[in-house]
Amino acid sequence: MPAELRGAELRAADLRRAFADDVRDYLQRRPRQLPSKYFYDALGSSLFEAICLLPWYRITRAESALLERHAREMLEPLKRPLTLAELGCGSGDKLALLATRASERFQSIQLVDISPAALYAARRRVETLRAGPVVLHPATYEQGLTELARVRREGAMLVLFLGSNLGNFDPGPAREMLTRIRAALQPGDALLLGTDLVKPERELLLAYDDPLQVTAAFNRNLLRRINDELGGTFDLDGFAHRAVWNATESRIEMHLASPRAQQVQVAAAGLVIDFAAGDTIWTESSHKYEATHVVAEGHAAGFGSADQWIDTGARFALTRFSA
């Protein structure tokens, strides 16, 4: 077997081990939980892309429209040559939108994502633009930031952290994440941060509990993934999708509720769990911000001036922080 593939096999074994360890740890917590990062296997990523097309989930369209409309303004004050970098680039569509509208050549385009499949797709997408050399980093956000600091050349770097990904962090880790991004940058660099804003509860509930039940499938797919990858025995019809607006914490929470008593085993995690009727598994938090709070968080993380572009209809903000 070629060494490259052996490496990939080892990595897959490590990832499966870490998944099993997290499932064991989080499912035994009270309340029971599962980390939302495990939503994104191949099927989960496709379901998320479908969510982004739903009329009730406006984040992706709002952000894309802002990028399209204000691309030049967003890049204009930054020193050239300019390096563009995206943390969690996914398909690369948004970076491509920004680069297309900017219509300039970049020193380089640095793409960071945990999923090699996403990175290859993003490279194909971005390379068609001929906007500069594209460099891939199959890495976590943290490792990616270390890489970005290492490959940094003259001029300025703009780091994109889009899609309200920050919202999936709890407040403490979110502040740490912003601080880490700041530490990887140099004076003259900038961060472009996408955050979803607080809006009426009815809109939020429709966005996270849509009438087509795509989000329900996205949520339950996590149990399907545990069954397939870790030898779980979850009855997929035995858990109901719940989306709850927690106004005190300013977050939408997603849960999976067991309407009846049932026992579930997860072989690879050595787990046997007895769910009582009404027990839930908390699978995700999506924090919603006030625009002023986003700016305050950036300042608390050590960033300088902030400029904001807001979609007032969808209530979504892009904030550019200078380092």
Q: Is the separation of the CB atoms in 140 and 176 below 8 Å?
A: no
User: Whose CB is nearest to ligand AVI?
Assistant: 286
Peptide bond into 81 cis (omega under 30): yes
Minimum CB separation of residue 87 from ligand AVI in Å reads 12
Could you tell me which residues come within 8 angstroms of residue 196 by beta carbon, excluding any fewer than 6 positions away? 59, 164, 167, 286, 288, 289, 315, 316
Can you give the binding site for ligand AVI, defined by CB under 6 A? 51, 59, 163-165, 167-168, 208, 215, 284, 286
Looking at the Cβ atoms of 92 and 163, the one nearer to ligand AVI is 163
Shortest approach of ligand AVI to residue 127 CB, angstroms? 25
CA distance 37 to 60: 19
Residue type, 31: P
What are the residues whose beta carbons fall under 8 Å from the beta carbon of 254, sequence distance 6 or more? 36, 208, 215, 219, 241, 242, 243, 282, 283, 284, 285, 286
Tell me how far, at minimum, the Cβ of 113 lies from ligand AVI, in Å. 13
CB of 168 to ligand AVI, least distance (A): 5
The closest alpha carbon to 286, from 206, 192, 170, 115, belongs to: 170
- Which residue, 208 or 289, has its beta carbon nearer to ligand AVI? 208
- Nearest residue (CB) to ligand AVI, 212 versus 272: 212
In whole angstroms, how close is the CB of 276 to ligand AVI at the nearest point? 26
17 Cβ contact list (under 8 Å, min separation 6): none
The dihedral region occupied by 52, where left means phi > 0, alpha psi between -120 and 50, and beta the remainder, is alpha
CB atoms within 10 A of CB 133: 11
CB 247 to ligand AVI: min, Å: 17
How far is residue 208's CA from residue 51's CA, in Å, rounded to a whole number? 9
**Complex with ligand AVI: residue 165 or 265, whichever CB lies closer:** 165
Taking the complex as a whole, how short is the minimal distance between the CB of residue 109 and ligand AVI, in angstroms? 22
Nearer to ligand AVI, 113 or 284 (CB): 284
Measured from the CB atom, is 100 or 250 closer to ligand AVI?
Answer: 250
Taking the C-alpha atoms of residue 168 and residue 174, their distance in angstroms, rounded to an integer, is 8
Element (H, E) at 192: strand 190-196
To ligand AVI, the closest distance from the beta carbon of 209 in angstroms equals 9
Distances (CA, A) of 287 to 182, 246, 272, 296: 21, 9, 32, 15
The sheet carrying 316-322 orders its strands as: 134-138, 108-113, 82-87, 156-161, 190-196, 316-322, 306-311
Nearer to ligand AVI, 51 or 67 (CB): 51
Q: Pick the closer one to ligand AVI by CB: 51 or 223.
A: 51
Nearer to ligand AVI, 58 or 320 (CB): 58
Shortest reach from residue 197's CB to ligand AVI, in Å: 12
At 143, which amino acid appears?
Answer: Q
